Amino acid sequence: MNQQGIDILPVEWVKEVINIVAERLVVVDRKGIIRYMDSAYCDFLNITPMDAIGKHVDQVIENTRMHIVANTGIPELSSVQPIKGSEMIANRYPLYVNNELVGAAGTVIFRNPQEWLDYSSKIQPLLDELQYYKRKFEKEHKSKYRFSDLAGNNPRFVEAKQLAERGSHSQSSILLIGESGTGKELFAHSIHQNSTRAHYPFIRVNCASIPENLLESELFGYDEGAFTGAKRGGKKGKFELGHMGTVFLDEIGDMPLLMQSKLLRVLQEKEIERVGGQSPKAVDVRIIAATHRNLEEMVHEGKFRQDLYYRLNVLKVEIPPLRERREDILPIAYILLKKLEKKFNRQGIYLSNSAEITLEKHSWPGNIRELENVLERAINVLDGREICLEHLPLYLRDLEEAEAGYPPSLSDKLDQEKSIQPLKEIMAAVEKAALAKAIKLADGNKQKAAKMLGIGKTSFYDKCKLYNIN
């Protein structure tokens, strides 16, 4: 121990540490005279330390530049240096003592090609894995759509699209209002893609699909040891993952009140605190929220925080349902057919006149999502290229009831031999219609809808997912 009470390693220890590290070491003075060379470097050169120390470095190491660095004081890093037929990676550092240049220290690694190959074989799989997860992250957290992908000529839809496009250039929060299946997520993608944050992550969160007890850790992340089963090292939440980008909060009306207050802090203070964390973390995200609910009514009922509502409702974009933009039904249908053609590796699929009329008359309670589901079902049972009336689901064939959004009388259909369908398909159509009707009567409250149908919440969500009912 020295006079300041600091432990100092014995010289023998220091030499042994130098000898066992991966890099080989040589030290020269200002004149380029070797003052030290470790034993591994000597072994590689087939000399002894006594053969090297005291000699000029260029007499011992071929292609060396150690004496130049010792003279100029300019470091040379990651230089390729041929030594004894091997390509070495050399690092040369000027050596200062008490602010005076006294010499230089140099290291080399990969003493032969085989050593380089051994190193490469170990590190390359790790690099490949890192690249895989990097590409996966970028793919999952990038916006997929642009405003040019939002089709429609309905005046209300065009107005909503123009308002969203103007708002995309700002940093303000945007609130998207519209029924399930109207394309709120496509609007969110387009807003992000058209913003200054387009090169940063686009993080999607469905507030209704994450259990309440997990929502906080999903949004804000957690530190190691925060709870039983927490990952080592903790986990980043959605807001941390979306730093500098956009976080899309779908079904914001289903967010619990406690989480609403935490979200308000993100908007006001631009910081989050992980579950089990001791200090806040700064985050810079833009919030796009979406809901099919009437948030103003929820505010009056005490189910949604008024201060959060005003924070989110800086710019409100109302997307009209498909039944209010009937002129857009067929153009959208043909866009969806082009998309489905790629999925099914088919070409030239079109709608018959009777099928077009039926699609235009239907009220589409499930909006664009329902339309895509109907077209995909039709392609699955299609032999040729023309989608006719018989290829459409049963509940679309009775136009009078289709306009009301409910399935036709099953007894009438069963009396028509040509309209007979497998029982499983008939029951699926009835079940889907019942789910849609319950959600409508429950004003979008899925827990209430499940109770009305007499089924559990989990079963209800599973069925909604099965029939693409959001």
What is the b/e burial string over 305-316, where b = at least 16 CB atoms within 10 angstroms of the residue's CB? beebbebbeebe
CA 97 to chain centre: 50
Say if residue 86's pLDDT is above 80: no
Q: What is the pLDDT averaged over residues 275-288?
A: 89
Tell me the pTM.
0.59
Model pLDDT, residue 398: 60
Model pLDDT for residues 156-202, shown as the tens digit of each residue = 999 999 999 999 999 999 999 999 889 999 999 999 999 999 989 99
Gap between the Cα atoms of 292 and 254, Å rounded: 10
Asked if residues 37 and 107 have their Cβ atoms less than 8 Å apart, the reply is: no
Name the token pair of 256: 């619990």
Least confident residue range of 84-88, 218-222, 280-284: 84-88
In sequence order, what DSSP letters do the residues of 255-295 get, joined into one string?
S-HHHHHHHHHHHHHSEE--BT-SS-EE---EEEEEESS-H
Model pLDDT, residue 38: 87
CATH architecture of the domain with residue range 422-470: Orthogonal Bundle (1.10)
Topology classification of domain 324-410: Helicase, Ruva Protein; domain 3 (1.10.8)
> Class for domain 11-109, per CATH?
alpha beta
Model pLDDT for residues 257-267, shown as the tens digit of each residue = 889 988 998 89
Question: Higher-confidence residue: 459 or 303?
Answer: 303
User: For the chain, which residues make up each domain, given as ranges?
Assistant: 11-109, 147-318, 324-410, 422-470
Ranked by mean pLDDT, the top range of 43-47, 294-298, 436-440 is 294-298
- Of 338, 322, 280, the C-alpha closest to 156 is 322
Query: pLDDT band at residue 438, thresholds of 50, 70 and 90?
Result: confident
Least confident residue range of 129-133, 367-371, 425-429: 129-133
Model pLDDT for residues 291-325, shown as the tens digit of each residue = 999 999 999 999 999 999 999 999 999 999 999 99
Name the token pair of 6: 């600091």
Tally of CB atoms within 10 A around 342:
9
Model pLDDT, residue 441: 79
Q: Indicate the CATH number for domain 147-318.
A: 3.40.50.300
Query: pLDDT band at residue 81, thresholds of 50, 70 and 90?
Result: confident
Query: pLDDT band at residue 87, thresholds of 50, 70 and 90?
Result: confident
Model pLDDT, residue 143: 73
Least confident residue range of 2-11, 351-360, 411-420: 411-420
Query: pLDDT band at residue 7, thresholds of 50, 70 and 90?
Result: low
Provide φ and ψ at 196, rounded to 5°: -70, -10
Q: What rounded mean pLDDT belongs to the chain? A: 84
Question: Higher-confidence residue: 5 or 136?
Answer: 136
